[in-house]
Amino acid sequence: MAAGGAVLLLPAWARLAWAHHGWSRFDQNRPLYLEGRAVEVRWRNPHAELVLERPEQLQLPADLKQRALPAQTAPVDGPALLAAAQLPRRADRRWTIELAPLTRMNAWQVPEIQPGTEVGVLGYTYFEEEGEAVLRAEYLFLGGRTYGMRSSPA
């Protein structure tokens, strides 16, 4: 009986583990910038997530390097990340954006994103941009504000 129960729990655990990606799985030496419209939003743990549909002709914003960044508790060199930002090499129009856990989103007072909302993100994808089109957000640009996703506000 216990063995059967463990087998039944494994698929749920496996899905949860697959849905949550740690920072080490992402190429943090190559910050990428994406912007577009949220087409799906999942406001839940282990982290908020959205599907972003980017425009066909994505460009880096002219003001990206000068954007004000919030102080956060993790040691993040935000100005260096903004200066190094690139566009993705891959042409996927839809990207899954991994944000922060809900407790951190609440600490930043990020309003709950709704489908149709325009957002920008700076973050990291998998090494060599292999696999799914997933971006782990370091910064979220929403409604004229910037939110740090790695840690809570300082």
Under the banding of pLDDT at 50, 70 and 90, the label for residue 22 is low
| Mean pLDDT for the stretch of residues 37-42 | 98
E strand intervals along 19-133: 32-42, 49-53, 94-98, 118-124
The CB density around residue 52, as the number of other CB atoms within 10 Å, is 26
Q: What domains, with CATH codes, occur in the chain?
A: 2-148 (2.40.50.140)
Q: What CA–CA distance (Å, rounded) separates 146 from 154?
A: 14
| Distance from C-alpha of 94 to C-alpha of 104, rounded to nearest angstrom | 25
Task: Tell me the pLDDT tens digit for each residue of 53-69.
Answer: 999 999 999 999 999 99
Query: Averaged over 41-46, what is the pLDDT?
Result: 95
Q: In the prediction, which pLDDT does 13 show?
A: 35
Digit-coded pLDDT (tens) for 65-114: 999 999 999 999 999 999 999 999 999 999 999 999 999 999 999 999 99
Q: What is the mean pLDDT of residues 102-131?
A: 94
Say if CB 96 and CB 133 are below 8 A apart. yes
Report the alpha-carbon distance of residue 29 to residue 12 in Å, rounded. 33
> What's the pLDDT score for residue 24?
67
